Amino acid sequence: MDPISAPTMDPHAPRILFIGTGAQGHAYAEPITRLRLGWVVAVCEPIAWKRGYFGRRYIWGFDGTAPLPHEEFEDYKDFIEYEKKRQGRVKAGEIQEGDHEFRGVDAVFVCVLDELHVHVVKALAPLGLHIMCEKPLATSLHDCIDIQQTLKREWEVLGRQTIFGVGHVLRYSPHNMLLRKLVREDKVVGDVVSVEHTEPIGWWHMAHSFVRGNWRRQDMTAPSLLTKSCHDIDFLMWLLCSPASEAGDTPHLPSLISSTGSLNQFRKARKPRAGGSATNCLSCPIESSCLYSAKSIYVPMLPDPDGREWPLKSVVPDIEDLEALGRDIAAKRLLKVLAEDYTSETPDSEVKQRSWYGRCVWECDNDVCDDQVVTLTWEDDPFSGVNAPGEAKNAASGATTGDVGGLNGRGTKTAIFHMIAPTEKICERRGRVYGTTGEITYDSKTISVHSFATGKSVSYTPGVAGEGHGGGDESMAEKFCQSVQAVNAGQMAVKVAQRHFLGCDIDEIVRSHLVVFAAEIARKGRVVVDWQRFLEDVAVI
């Protein structure tokens, strides 16, 4: 099979390096190549077979062509060293920037494990490359601020800014972009009074990723509100207080943040008594009747190509190769992996270094929340000066569209976010927007607007670009590449392209993360966090 090819495209399209080739790496590389948004020209991945597969699919092909030295790297530090030397040779006049054999990259997608983001981004910053980092930006408040400060410091040293984005993909789905337009620009329900937004994680998805999988322990990653739902918090901040236009207006920021939540379901106290002392599904007396049996969850996915891509690749990375040798061979290997277990004598340092997908969900070492509520509260904050974009026309339209009055749409409001594990839907967000003149209900496919004045409802069904996050993965990758291309072509300054295509800057990116950390302080301390005081304490933005 030939790799996904990307023939003729704009000469200013970015040349891209991918650091990390997990599911999200492919989620961005595939549309970039298919839509001819840029050239994927290099890969950095420590696992050889993953590096080779990614390279064959997007870079050097399946025809046996050997990769060139600058097309693959085992460690991101190897690329950093290579690129520093390459830039030094260009500066010394030894090679030309456009030389094919020594040509560099314009942009980097950082798709490594969450806890590595801070190290990779900080190492890349001095190179002057455009960066898209998978969410979350980092796993601690300190590291998020460190990245922000490092980037700004290096931009001063370089004498220029670079495009920087983070994988807050909910901003970029066609569905959510229309929802925001209806709420912020068209003001179809007048002023927003309250928003309820829910992320249903999915009953088996929670067990796979946050009980048995990579994101189950805070000491190895971060709280689930950050690793799973930071883009939901960003969605609410974007929907309710980010600048409403490219020209920008003063954001109406929340005043108070509170949160409650816990590890509710997946703990030993809820283990069925009939399970006894079993710690692994394959040796459990109730395996055949248990809802969370690893065998019943994973084995039926073998015939499904989508299931093999995810989640089975997380369990057995070479499952596709084994499937090609025969279904029985793949099933045997899968069951062998699921049977792996640890005992009370196994050192914790060994337990936490890997995932245990056959482990009983009530006997795991997980400690992240599976049920959490965050409440954001805004107070009156009248905009001093001219009306914010769109305000005047809405005010002139009369009460049926919502006269914003003296508050200019910056009145008291609340947003309630609920992250919940035991759900039928998997990551298909749903919610309601309560306004002064109407109400909006939405799920991941449909938006329904009800007018109090007319008593009628209008439904919208936005198109979906790609599959991941309602098309947000593909749309975000597209907008990032477009921003880099506009800068490369000299069509836009970096700050203009950043705002025009990505809709946010590094300060706004960090701000959304800080809301998550503030919510965790509120949850753990059983307190209400004052946002301004919190910012003063951390001394940022």
Average pLDDT of 44-52?
94
CA dihedral 24→312→370→256, nearest 10 degrees, is: 0
CA angle 390, 394, 400 (to 5 degrees): 150
Mean pLDDT, all residues of the chain: 91
Label residues 137-161 b or e (16+ Cβ within 10 Å = b): bbbebebbbebbebbeebbeeeeeb
Give the model confidence (pLDDT) of 345-362 as tens digits: 999 999 999 999 999 999
- Is the Cα torsion angle 487, 492, 496, 502 positive or negative in sign? negative
Residue with the larger pLDDT of the pair 407 and 512? 512
Both tokens assigned to 453: 């004045």
Instruction: Give Cα 342 to chain centroid, integer Å.
Output: 31
Per-residue pLDDT of 103-133, as tens digits, reads 789 999 999 999 999 999 999 999 999 999 9
Mean pLDDT of 53-60: 95
Q: What is the pLDDT of residue 242?
A: 77
Q: How confident is the model at residue 248 (pLDDT cuts 50, 70, 90)?
A: low
At a CB cut-off of 8 Å and minimum separation 6, what does 120 contact?
A: 19, 76, 110, 112, 133
Sign of CA dihedral 30, 201, 514, 176: positive
pLDDT digits (tens, 9 = 90+) for 424-470: 999 999 999 999 999 999 998 999 999 999 999 999 998 765 566 66
Of residues 143 and 465, more confidently modeled: 143
Position 400 pLDDT exceeds 50: no
2's torsion region: left (phi>0), alpha (psi -120 to 50) or beta?
Answer: beta
What distance separates the 2 farthest-apart alpha carbons in the chain?
Answer: 74
Distance CA 45, CA 279 (A): 33
Quick count: other Cβ atoms within 10 Å of Cβ 326?
A: 10
Mean pLDDT of 172-195: 95
Stated pTM of the model = 0.92
pLDDT band (50, 70, 90) for residue 321: confident
Q: What percent of the chain has pLDDT over 90?
A: 80
Kindly report, residue by residue over 31-43, the tens digit of the pLDDT: 999 999 999 999 9
Q: How confident is the model at residue 30 (pLDDT cuts 50, 70, 90)?
A: very high
With beta carbons less than 8 A apart as the criterion, state whether 333 and 320 touch: no
- Any idea which architecture 171-265+367-470+510-538 has in CATH? 2-Layer Sandwich (3.30)
- Tell me what pLDDT residue 403 has: 53
| Average pLDDT of span 297-309 | 92
What are the beta bridge partners of residue 413? 378
Q: Is the pLDDT of residue 388 over 50?
A: no
CA 73, CA 67: separation in Å to the nearest integer? Answer: 10
Q: What is the pLDDT of residues 215-244, one digit of tens each?
A: 999 999 999 999 999 999 999 999 998 766
**Domains of the chain: which residue ranges?**
15-168+473-494, 171-265+367-470+510-538, 268-351
Beta bridge partners of 530: 256
CATH 3.40.50.720 fits 15-168+473-494, yes or no: yes
Q: What is the pLDDT of residue 393?
A: 40
